[in-house]
């Protein structure tokens, strides 16, 4: 049985899925047909129910719970890993209401965290996450919301941080930062959904036990080829919450969904999550 699987080409995702898609762990009778898409492309594809299993921003997942459930394995969730708001000029948060800000997508968790922290930041423009730094440098926009590898390298281009949106979330809520999840089509048989979740968990465990084994695969798709940057990226976004959300992880997501405005009737663990 072949399932369609979509995730980003970023190091954290390729590190997680390497063993699963390259048959380093047993997945029979399932196989996985992989597509690599940018985060906003993944969010948009899920609206059309395109993939059996897909990476999603947690904000996008909150809008698609009629179609998808969240697997308890595969998430990007943690402390100190949130998106950064950066600029070329010496702006402060007081300037945000007047700034044109590049974002990696309206339905991304990054944009949710921007609005959560600064509701006055209303002048936004969507673009591919990897284009945001250059848009700031060339003056197309005043500021940019950066994610993934860019948070490790932006300062090398003369850019400066206006705010760490993950830090603001942590200070206000005490919860880790909920960035992205792996979701599965709700209408798949429950035994299939559980098997997929198990494969992802085992793939992560293999990656933790054999961290160098995925190097060539990760570097093949990474925007940044510096080994130290790649390692820092993986260490930041792949952690114990990736292996299993656990009670704290689930409570984090439920709190976020409540802030987004989901009905209390929809904040049911068994309806949202697959273990």
Catalytic positions are 148
Q: In angstroms, rounded to a whole number, what is the distance separating the alpha carbons of residues 273 and 183?
A: 9
- The two three-digit tokens of residue 213, written as one number: 């084994």
- Beta-carbon-side half-sphere exposure of residue 130 (alpha carbons within 13 Å): 10
* 101-103, strands of its sheet edge to edge: 124-126, 101-103, 143-146, 84-87, 160-164
Specify the DSSP class assigned to residue 176: P
Whether the CB-CB separation of 166 and 77 falls below 8 Å is answered with no
Please name which of 19, 62, 7 lies closest in space to residue 259, comparing C-alpha atoms. 62
3-state SS class at 64: coil
Whether the CB-CB separation of 230 and 222 falls below 8 Å is answered with yes
Q: Partners of 46 in the beta sheet?
A: none
Strands 273-274 and 84-87: unpaired
């Amino acid at each position: 049985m072949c399932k369609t699987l979509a995730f980003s080409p970023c190091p954290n995702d390729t590190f997680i899925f390497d063993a699963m898609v390259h048959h380093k762990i047993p997945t029979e009778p399932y196989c996985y047909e992989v597509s690599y898409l940018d985060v906003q492309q993944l969010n948009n594809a899920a609206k059309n129910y395109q993939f059996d299993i897909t990476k999603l921003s947690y904000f996008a997942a909150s809008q698609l719970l009629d179609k998808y459930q969240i697997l308890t394995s595969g998430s990007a969730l943690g402390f100190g890993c949130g998106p950064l708001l950066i600029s070329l000029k010496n702006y402060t948060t007081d300037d945000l209401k007047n700034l044109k800000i590049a974002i990696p997508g309206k339905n991304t968790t990054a944009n949710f965290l921007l609005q959560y922290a600064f509701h006055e930041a209303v002048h936004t423009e969507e673009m591919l996450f990897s284009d945001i730094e250059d848009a700031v440098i060339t003056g197309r926009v005043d500021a940019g919301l950066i994610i993934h590898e860019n948070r490790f390298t932006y300062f090398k281009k003369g850019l400066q941080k206006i705010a760490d949106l993950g830090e603001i979330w942590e200070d206000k809520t005490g919860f880790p930062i909920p960035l992205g999840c792996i979701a599965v089509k709700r209408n798949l048989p429950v035994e299939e959904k559980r098997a997929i979740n198990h494969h992802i968990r085992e793939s992560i465990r293999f990656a933790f036990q054999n961290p160098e084994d995925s190097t060539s695969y990760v570097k093949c798709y990474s925007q940044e080829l510096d080994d130290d940057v790649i390692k820092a990226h993986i260490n930041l976004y792949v952690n114990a919450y990736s292996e299993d959300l656990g009670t704290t992880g689930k409570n984090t997501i439920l709190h976020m969904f409540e802030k987004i405005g989901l009905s209390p009737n929809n904040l049911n663990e068994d309806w949202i999550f697959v273990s």
